[in-house]
Amino acid sequence: MLKIGTQSEWIARAQAVLPGGGFGNFDPNIIIRDGKGSRVWDEDGNEYIDYLIGSGPMMLGHGHPEVLEAVFEQLPKGMTFFANNAAGIELAEQICDAVPCAQQLRYVSSGGEADMYAIRAARAFTGRDKIVKFEGGYHGMSAEAQMSLAPARTVNFPQAVPDSAGIPDSVAAEMLIAPFNDFDYIRSLLAEYGEQVAGIIVEPLQRIIPPLPGFLQLLRDEADKHGIVLIFDEVVTGFRFSYGGAQELYGVTPDICTLGKVIGGGFPLAAIAGRADIMAHFDKAAVGPEKWMMQLGTLSGNPVAAVAGMKTMEILRREGQYDRLRQTGQQIMQMTHAALDRHGIPHRVVGHPTLFEVVFTARKVRDYRDVMNSNTAAQSAYNSVLHSEGLFKSPGKTYPSLAITDDDLERTQAAISKAADHLATLG
């Protein structure tokens, strides 16, 4: 049983045993004690409206009673088996029914793992090595994904800039970096390198930046033209933008997609899903030892995560759920516009009603460099006031959930108004 302590005591304990005093995910100076519905509480008992929601998976809010019931029913039957189980099989069927590109899937435990295997599958299928990635795109923690994720300095495309120590130079040599939403650049890049490229990996909504009309279709067309595997990283957007994900919303079907967050209902679960001929590389009997791609994981297809995911997906299928989620997001976006417009503060609210953020700039936000060149000091000051007013959120994203209530929205509007007032005093 956990010992009782103040937040400052837990922070001191964390600093002794954790590098940087944290798990590497979020502000280590906030220690969350528990969550229920739309709210979380820290170890000092401070209450927040949660717009972080575990970085996305808790679309239904914390402790949804139907999800808990499904989990409690599974727990006495077994927590993990390292073997096939009925819950994992049934969840796979439901995912394949819902997601346009998914003919088959393979489970892993995290979205980053899924992205790593998706890149590897593209290489196995094509016999090529190079991967196209978009500057600022997040695809987990693999060596390839840590190229030009958040470069502090700009370089000429398609040069890759490593964002982490410990990555061999040879990895950068196999990565081609492109600006998101640049039609002409991706055409010219693939005209030069297309026959060497195994895969294009892209977030359909890059962090918070929507694709320009026709951009995802261009990637589809160029991938077909050059025999390249198109990978949509839908770890965030899958089952969030719509039941069939961003590929359903935007009407463009990739060859492979990666899924996570929502499909585990708050438990560690992710998947690579795609065309059967590509997924066959996970099956040695189908492709032979030379083309086989080894993949295993202790918790892959974990039955507790699978039942939580199935119940979450069942609830999302109910009438009006996505309309309600989008309406909540639209209300917060409108609140933000109104409060900042009142003071004439230059800004853009960027993203989709189910995932968005305010960027303090007067120019359109089309790619990573537009975000990087925005007023980040204003962003930091704005988020600081939101936190002090009881909103718990990422510095760069706002995740609405289905647990948000009318009272939460009233408190959110007051916090946004106060944050905008504060920015106005800074000049």
Interior CA angle at 312 toward 306 and 314, to 5°?
A: 100
Inter-CA distances, 253 with 134, 194, 221, 243, Å: 18, 20, 11, 14
Query: What DSSP string describes 8-74?
Result: HHHHHHHHHHSGGGS-SSS-TT--EEEEEBTEEEETT--EEEESSGGGTT-TT-BT-HHHHHHHHHH
User: For 68-102, b where at least 16 C-beta lie within 10 A, e where not — what string?
Assistant: eebbeebeeeeeeeeeebebbeebbebbeebbbbb
In angstroms, the CA 230 to CA 202 distance is 8
Angle CA(342)–CA(343)–CA(349) in degrees, nearest 5?
75
Please name which of 232, 223, 224 lies closest in space to residue 251, comparing C-alpha atoms.
Answer: 232
Which of 261, 370, 382, 393 does the annotation list as catalytic? 261
The residue annotated as part of the active site, out of 48, 107, 117, 138, is: 138
The first and second tokens of residue 108, run together, are: 């892993």
Question: Are the CB atoms for 95 and 216 separated by under 8 Å?
Answer: no
CA distance 291 to 374: 46
Active site residue 261: yes
Does residue 316 contact residue 241 with C-beta atoms inside 8 Å? no
| Catalytic site includes residue 225 | no
Name the active-site residue from 50, 115, 182, 233: 233
Euclidean distance between CA atoms 231 and 115, whole angstroms: 9
In sequence order, what are the beta bridge partners of 355?
352
**Sign of the alpha-carbon torsion through 265, 266, 270, 274:** positive
Instruction: Tokens 């954790």: give the residue.
Output: 18
**Catalytic-residue membership of 221:** no
By annotation, the residues acting in catalysis are: 138, 233, 261
